Amino acid sequence: MKNSHRNLVVRKLMNENKLHRKNKYLIDQLIPILLLGMTAVSVFTTLAIVWTLGTETTIFFQRVPFAEFFTSREWFPFFKNNPSYGVLPLLCGTLLVTSIAMAVAIPIGLGCAIFLSEYATDTIRKIVKPILEILAGIPAIVYGFFALTFVTPLLKSVISSLQFFNALSPGIVIGIMMIPTIASLSEDALRAVPMALREGSYGMGATKSETTKKIVVPAAFTGVVASVVLAASRAMGETMIVVIAGGATPVFSLDPTQSIQTLTAYIVQVSLGDAVYGTTTYYSMYAVGATLFLFTLGMNLLAQHIARRFKEVY
């Protein structure tokens, strides 16, 4: 009886183990399929966006010459008589605001990253990091009203020729908004540099600042470039700040004191219903969106090339 009971217990355990292994096998088979499905969703979404932009933009270029769109310096799509569809003023406004933003965000963001990675104590890091995260979590529309009601009057007290709507104020505020992006990603890249490189530099008699400048930052160059490109892409695609504080005047000028209009601001203007569906002005929104898409794509491809060119292996 004891042997029979023991055999039953062993057989039961073997069956349970067999069932358990079968379930694990099924899970191992299902997980790759599930992950593939998630990947397919992102790929399909990207293809759908490209298809939408491509088809609607093609309709626009069937009505407006390609050369006029990229060479004309006048953008008057709402004129009933002789409208002009030269995208250069919108590109100029976008690049002007992005340049101002990067001039603010890059030095401050990299400075924060180097300080947190190389100089700050754990206590200071625990205080500063949450503040940067709070800065990153503020909605863009709040930044927009901050630019309009605080930064613009402050700048106007210094620059008398500054218009109420201008490129300088939203550029500065977008730069402030991009600081956490550059600081956080660059700090991660700097902290990923092996400590052995720092210790070897110290062993050769280098100071902390020399080690940071000549060893740590070059070793983390690819990560720093990635953070800058991501911030620049976000700055170029920023909408609410430039809509609120930048104005809606498409001008081909690099004067930051006057009202401008960016690519994203124009898309918002058309999407609010200022253009009737099916008109050339309506389809110009997609052409402008495709232009913005190509610019950000080009920036990312350039960043990947730079990252591969200067990648450090350690």
- In one letter, which amino acid is 210? E
Q: Is 163 in the same domain as 230? A: yes
Q: Is 98 in the same domain as 158? A: yes
Measured CA to CA, the distance from residue 281 to residue 85 in angstroms comes to 9
Q: Is 121 in the same domain as 202? A: yes
The last residue of a domain, from among 63, 85, 109 = 63
> Could you tell me if residue 189 is inside a domain?
yes
Q: Is 158 in the same domain as 11? A: no
Q: Is 30 in the same domain as 89? A: no
> Could you tell me if residue 314 is inside a domain?
no
Token pair for 263: 């690519």
Measured CA to CA, the distance from residue 264 to residue 288 in angstroms comes to 8
Low-confidence winner among 4-18, 97-111, 136-150, 250-264 (lowest mean pLDDT) = 4-18
In order of 100, 152, 245, 253, the CA distances from 173 in angstroms are: 9, 10, 10, 20
Beta-carbon contacts of residue 155 (< 8 Å; ≥ 6 apart): 162, 166, 168, 169, 172
Sign of CA dihedral 26, 27, 28, 31: positive
For residue 85, the 8-state DSSP code is E
The answer on pLDDT for 3 being more than 70 is no
* pLDDT grade for 104, boundaries at 50, 70 and 90: very high
Measured CA to CA, the distance from residue 108 to residue 112 in angstroms comes to 6
The answer on pLDDT for 5 being more than 80 is no
| Per-residue pLDDT at 175 | 93
Low-confidence winner among 24-33, 112-121, 158-167 (lowest mean pLDDT) = 24-33
Total number of domains constituting the chain: 2
Q: Is 291 in the same domain as 228? A: yes
Q: Is 7 in the same domain as 121? A: no
Q: Helix, strand, or coil here: 121?
A: coil
> Could you tell me if residue 70 is inside a domain?
no
Q: Is 235 in the same domain as 107? A: yes
| Per-residue pLDDT at 21 | 66
Supply the range of the domain harboring residue 55: 2-63
pLDDT tens-digit series, residues 199-250:
888 888 888 888 888 888 888 888 888 889 888 988 888 888 999 998 888 8
pLDDT tens-digit series, residues 18-54:
656 666 667 777 878 888 888 888 889 888 888 988 8
> Could you tell me if residue 71 is inside a domain?
no
Name the average pLDDT for the chain: 84
Look at phi and psi of residue 64 and say left if phi exceeds 0, alpha if psi is from -120 to 50, else beta.
beta
Residue 151 near residue 164 (C-beta atoms within 8 A): no
Nearest alpha-carbon partner for 279 in 78, 123, 104, 127: 78
| Per-residue pLDDT at 168 | 93
| Per-residue pLDDT at 146 | 92
Q: Is 232 in the same domain as 285? A: yes
Q: Mean pLDDT across the stretch 121-131?
A: 84
Token pair for 19: 């069932």
DSSP string across 169-237: HHHHHHHHHHHHHHHHHHHHHHHTS-HHHHHHHHHTT--HHHHIIIIIHHHTHHHHHHHHHHHHHHHHH
The last residue of a domain, from among 63, 98, 114 = 63
| Per-residue pLDDT at 223 | 85
> Could you tell me if residue 94 is inside a domain?
yes
Sign of CA dihedral 127, 129, 130, 131: positive
Q: Is 193 in the same domain as 135? A: yes
Q: Is 276 in the same domain as 304? A: yes
167-189 burial by CB neighbour count: b if 16+ within 10 A, else e? bbbbbbbbbbbbbbbbbbbbbeb
* CATH number of the domain bearing residue 243: 1.10.3720.10
In order of 114, 139, 232, 236, the CA distances from 34 in angstroms are: 40, 33, 34, 34
Share of the chain above pLDDT 90, in %: 24
Q: Is 101 in the same domain as 155? A: yes
DSSP H or E run through 75: strand 75-76
Nearest alpha-carbon partner for 87 in 235, 255, 236, 263: 263
